[in-house]
């Protein structure tokens, strides 16, 4: 998928969508720098970030297909 240009503006030193009505729901994460990086490291194991089609920020985390398959087999008691 081609990269979406970012359509954001800065408000009080924070990047916010220029047209929030066009944004998809962003995945909430911690606000602190160290906390966010720790959270993103955990998320990256089972999720992949993608760009919001409205604002272009990499702010939407979706489950990886292989992680979803592993989770469904583990919940049924199957062994890897």
d(C-alpha 27, C-alpha 33), whole Å: 16
> In this predicted model, what pLDDT tens digit does every residue of 21-42 receive, in sequence order?
888 999 999 999 999 999 999 9
Band of pLDDT at residue 60, cut at 50, 70 and 90: very high
This model's pTM is above 0.75:
no
Domain boundaries, the chain: 26-75
**pLDDT in the model for residue 35:** 97
CB within 8 A of 56, min separation 6: which ones?
A: 3, 4, 5, 6, 7, 8
Can you tell me the mean pLDDT for 41-69? 88
Q: Are the beta carbons of 52 and 26 closer than 8 angstroms?
A: yes
């Amino acid at each position: 998928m081609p990269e979406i240009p970012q359509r954001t503006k800065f408000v009080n030193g924070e990047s916010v969508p220029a047209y929030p009505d066009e944004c998809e729901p962003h995945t909430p994460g911690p606000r602190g720098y160290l906390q966010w990086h720790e959270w993103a490291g955990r998320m990256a194991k089972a999720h992949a970030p993608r760009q919001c089609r409205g604002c272009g920020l990499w702010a939407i985390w979706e489950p990886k297909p292989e992680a979803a398959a592993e989770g469904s087999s583990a919940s049924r008691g199957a062994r890897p």
